[in-house]
């Protein structure tokens, strides 16, 4: 039982990272109809920026996180402004391809600047743990879950009550009607990208602060967040969070019981569990757990 709860906790921590990234996917998908493959690159960029702020500039970790999120948001918005603005009116297809291209530019760029070596981010959490009745909680994991919860709540409040959040919802619902009401689509798109990039950067720094440290392959975590987006429903922010947690739990439990239950499936089968789960969901509930069903008549 202890082992099971321990695995669930690990899954929850992993799942909250997925949730942050998937939330970024959904924000961009809802407002622009684009699947943003560059999220992994932005995540890695945010993590490395956080490393630079914390280790090289010796800022306190909280400030480093904020600065990393802000810088990543600027990069995201800048990318939207410089490249994607030119693609307005083009089919989403071309824009998706561009984000794939961006992902494959960002990754080598990061290795060119920071190198291939594994870095340790200077942070207050480290590998400290808290023990509660036989269960061991990593301080970093607790913070990740807490920060994710706070960000998700803040995100929903922003969407629900702020005028910019309302503008974003309207643009997602009907871009032309939004324009007719005087809502600036440019602003909405730029803000969506900034939010997505900041969420990715937060997830990246939280990942990098863990015992695994920071290596160029950190961006791959974002690819595993795609299943989270599909499991939850592509157009549902709440679904993204739910999907992230479900995927994280599934992955952590598979890893935890690898030797007992899944040895037949080969080493490290947990890595592909998110994708297998996604295929199952596509079979039984193609629009995701909380997504809206695509209704159309021909």
Please give the residue ranges that form the binding site for another protein (CB under 8 A).
35, 37, 83, 86-87, 90-94, 96-98, 100-109, 111-112, 116, 223, 226-227, 229-230, 234, 265-269, 271-272, 274-276, 278-279, 282-283, 286-287, 294, 296, 298
Please report how close the Cβ of residue 282 comes to another protein at its closest, in angstroms. 5
Nearer Cβ to another protein, position 181 or 268? 268
Residue 120 is given by DSSP the state -
Nearer Cβ to another protein, position 93 or 161? 93
Nearer Cβ to another protein, position 131 or 294? 294
> What's the CA angle centered on 37, arms 170 and 172, to 5 degrees?
5
Nearer Cβ to another protein, position 238 or 282? 282
Nearer Cβ to another protein, position 72 or 84? 84
Q: What is the dihedral of CA 191, 197, 198, 200, to 10 degrees?
A: 150
Name the strand (E) or helix (H) holding 138.
strand 135-138
Rounded Cα distance between 191 and 31, Å, is: 10
Please report how close the Cβ of residue 180 comes to another protein at its closest, in angstroms. 23
Please report how close the Cβ of residue 281 comes to another protein at its closest, in angstroms. 10
Decide: helix, strand or coil at residue 214: strand
At 126, phi and psi to the nearest 5?
A: 50, -135
Please report how close the Cβ of residue 95 comes to another protein at its closest, in angstroms. 8
> What's the CA angle centered on 243, arms 132 and 289, to 5 degrees?
130
């Amino acid at each position: 039982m202890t082992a099971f709860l321990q695995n669930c906790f690990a899954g929850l921590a992993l799942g909250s990272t997925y949730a942050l990234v998937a939330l970024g996917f959904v924000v961009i998908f809802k407002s622009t109809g684009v699947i943003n493959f560059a999220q992994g690159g932005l995540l890695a960029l945010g993590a490395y920026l956080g490393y630079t702020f914390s280790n090289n500039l010796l800022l306190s970790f909280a400030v480093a996180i904020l600065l990393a999120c802000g810088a990543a948001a600027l990069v995201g918005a800048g990318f939207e402004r410089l490249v994607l603005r030119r693609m307005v009116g083009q089919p989403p297809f071309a824009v998706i391809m561009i984000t794939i291209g961006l992902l494959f530019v960002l990754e080598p760029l990061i290795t060119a600047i920071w190198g291939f070596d594994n870095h340790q981010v200077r942070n207050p959490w480290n590998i400290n743990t808290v023990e509660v009745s036989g269960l061991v909680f990593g301080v970093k994991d607790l913070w990740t879950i807490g920060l994710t919860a706070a960000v998700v709540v803040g995100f929903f409040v922003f969407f629900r009550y702020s005028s910019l959040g309302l503008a974003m919802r309207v643009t997602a619902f009907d871009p032309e009607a939004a324009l007719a009401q005087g809502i600036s689509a440019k602003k909405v798109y730029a803000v969506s990208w900034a939010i997505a990039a900041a969420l990715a950067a937060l997830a990246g720094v939280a990942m990098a602060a863990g015992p695994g440290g920071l290596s160029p392959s950190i961006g791959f975590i974002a690819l595993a967040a795609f299943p989270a987006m599909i499991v939850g429903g592509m157009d549902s922010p709440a679904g993204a969070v739910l999907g992230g947690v479900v995927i994280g739990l599934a992955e952590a439990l598979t890893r935890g019981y690898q030797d007992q239950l899944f040895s037949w499936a080969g080493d490290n089968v947990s890595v592909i569990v998110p994708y297998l789960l996604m295929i199952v969901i596509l079979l039984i509930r193609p629009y995701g757990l909380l997504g809206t069903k695509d209704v159309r008549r021909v």
